[in-house]
């Protein structure tokens, strides 16, 4: 993630949280709340770490000159304080790079929202923590008890020791650096024969079976043009009850249905632009291998799945997605966790090389990134303020202009769409197409839903 970062390609991720005022709060609640947050001037790991390099290798060291003013900002939206103004602010701030001379995170307390609401937007570099790790930290920060008070901000919240893997300070000598590189190489080489065999089988089968999702089957698409550093963010909530009814109707997982919905929405969006490729779009789906409750670092591999955008029938699309995901999981079934990491890295290495150098634009391993991150399943509060919604703000990359991240909260799935502002014209139309995709699946399965219209957090 550090190597991939460029001015037009920031590699940070973020979250937008929308809160209601506590029931007994005065109108100046957010102002007083912001003053309290400024008292938390001593961050905990990993928010107290900054980058340093030895022999070209990055390490985390404690920032001994930490200054909260560079990381926490209390801002107000311009009148009238609609969702439109909120997402305009998030889009602008998400376009800005983090300062590598300081710990790689920023947090914004945002007031001025209509309806006695406020928001918190927090971004951190992807090298600091992955999305699952960030979500677990965010969940631990909140409480199901609306009476609980004196809860710290994210940078000052210390995870319970039994669940926390604290980054260890390292004595960074040349010998230590070389030793660590040798250990890393030794770890990757373990089981390399099985890894190479699995990658070779993927190449071979993808050449013989047109329905097998292999590497470099992704077609050329407008989603894969060069991007700028300007971002556009839109979000919307959908009832998890509706999604689970579809899961039952199609004997599919939530992830299968989500991918099918995204495939349908992308098909309709590209048809409007008259830019739908004849071949199906391929998505990269990050999968967490994290087996504990630790925070920090990255334990993510990527599988490829067919979105069946070349198919008009929504039911058929679900079947293709299910088959594609099952094949991807089967490839890794007989590999250890270390081997899976190595397999993913080796299979995706040409794509990563293309992202870093741009030397082979036709080497397109996938067209879009779609992540599905589990969140809290009951109402949560922060100092008495009810969490109304959690919206992931993701990381588009060069030639990957759209990133869709889905987060579950209570009885809803929160869709967050982050895109390059120039490459994805009228990106807010994707929200309409997502709703249409759900309705098409319901009609195909003879389901009828009765639900309130969801609030659309779209930026026009």
Q: What is the largest CA-CA distance in the chain?
A: 67
- C-alpha R_g of the chain: 22
Phi then psi for residue 93, to 5 deg, are -70, -30
Q: Can you name the residues that pair with 50 across neighbouring β-strands?
A: 61
Residues 6+ apart with CB under 8 A from 23: 384
Choosing from 12, 126, 412, 433, which is the catalytic residue? 126
Three-state SS letters, the chain: CCCCCECCECCEEEEEEEEECCCCCCCCHHHHHHHHHCCCCCCCCCCCEEEEEECCEEEEEECCCCCHHHCEEEEECCCCCCHHHHHHHHHHHHCCCCCCCCCCEEEEEEEEECCCEEEEEEEEECCCECHHHHHHHHHHHCECCCCCCCCCCHHHCCCCHHHCCCCCCCCCCHHHHHHHHHHHHHHHHCCHHHHHHHHHHHHHHHHHCCCCCCCCCCCCCHHHCCCCCCEEEEEEEEEHHHHHHHHHHHCCCHHHHHHHHHHHHHHHHHHHCCCCCCCCCEEEEEEECCCCCCCCECCEEEEEEECCCCCCCHHHHHHHHHHHHHHHHHHCCCCCHHHHHHHHHHHHHHHHHHHHHCCCCCCCCCCEEEEEECCCCCCCEECCEEEEEEEEECCCECCECEEEEEEEECCEEEEEEEEECCCCCCCCHHHHHHHHHHHHHHHHCCCCCCCCCCCEECCC
> Does residue 79 carry a catalytic annotation?
no
Q: Provide the sign of the torsion angle of the four alpha carbons 322, 325, 331, 336, taken in this order.
A: negative
Length of the chain: 460
Q: State the catalytic residues.
A: 126
């Amino acid at each position: 993630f550090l190597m991939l970062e460029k001015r037009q390609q920031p590699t940070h991720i973020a979250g937008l949280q929308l809160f209601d005022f506590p029931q007994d709060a005065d109108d100046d609640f957010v102002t007083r709340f912001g003053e309290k947050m400024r008292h938390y001037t001593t961050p905990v790991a990993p928010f107290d770490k900054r980058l340093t390099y030895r022999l070209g290798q990055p390490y985390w060291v404690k920032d001994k000159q930490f200054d909260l003013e560079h990381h926490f900002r209390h801002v107000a939206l311009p009148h009238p304080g609609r969702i439109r103004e909120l997402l305009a602010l998030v889009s602008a701030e998400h376009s800005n790079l983090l300062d590598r001379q300081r710990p790689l995170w920023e947090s914004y307390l945002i007031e001025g929202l209509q309806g006695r609401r406020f928001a918190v937007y927090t971004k951190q570099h992807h090298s600091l923590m992955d999305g699952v790790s960030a979500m677990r930290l965010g969940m631990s920060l909140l409480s199901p008890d609306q009476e609980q008070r004196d809860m710290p901000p994210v940078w000052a919240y210390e995870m319970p020791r039994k669940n926390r893997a604290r980054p260890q300070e390292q004595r960074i000598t040349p010998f230590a650096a070389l030793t660590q590189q040798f250990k890393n190489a030794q770890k990757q080489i373990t089981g390399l024969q099985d890894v190479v065999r699995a990658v070779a089988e993927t190449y071979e089968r993808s050449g013989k079976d047109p329905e097998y999702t292999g590497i470099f089957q992704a077609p050329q698409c407008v989603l894969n043009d060069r991007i700028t550093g300007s971002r556009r963010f839109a979000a919307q909530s959908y009832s998890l009850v509706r999604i689970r009814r579809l899961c039952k109707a199609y004997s599919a997982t939530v992830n299968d249905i989500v991918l099918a919905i995204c495939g349908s929405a992308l098909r309709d969006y590209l048809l409007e632009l008259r830019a739908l490729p004849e071949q199906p779009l391929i998505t990269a789906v990050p999968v967490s291998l994290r087996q504990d409750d630790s925070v920090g670092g990255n334990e993510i591999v990527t599988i490829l799945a067919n979105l069946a955008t070349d198919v008009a029938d929504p039911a058929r699309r679900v079947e293709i997605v299910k088959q594609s995901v099952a094949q991807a999981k089967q490839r890794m079934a007989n590999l250890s966790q270390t081997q899976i990491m190595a397999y993913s890295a080796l299979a995706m290495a040409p794509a990563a090389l293309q992202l870093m150098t741009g030397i082979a634009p036709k080497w397109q391993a996938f067209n879009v990134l779609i992540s599905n991150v589990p969140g809290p399943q009951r109402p949560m509060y922060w100092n008495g303020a009810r969490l109304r919604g959690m919206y992931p703000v993701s990381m588009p990359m060069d030639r990957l202009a759209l990133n869709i991240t889905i987060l579950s909260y209570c009885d809803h799935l929160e869709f967050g769409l982050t895109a390059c502002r120039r490459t994805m014209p009228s990106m807010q139309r994707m929200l309409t197409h997502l709703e249409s995709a759900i309705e098409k699946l319901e009609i195909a399965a003879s389901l009828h839903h009765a639900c309130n219209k969801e609030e659309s957090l779209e930026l026009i």
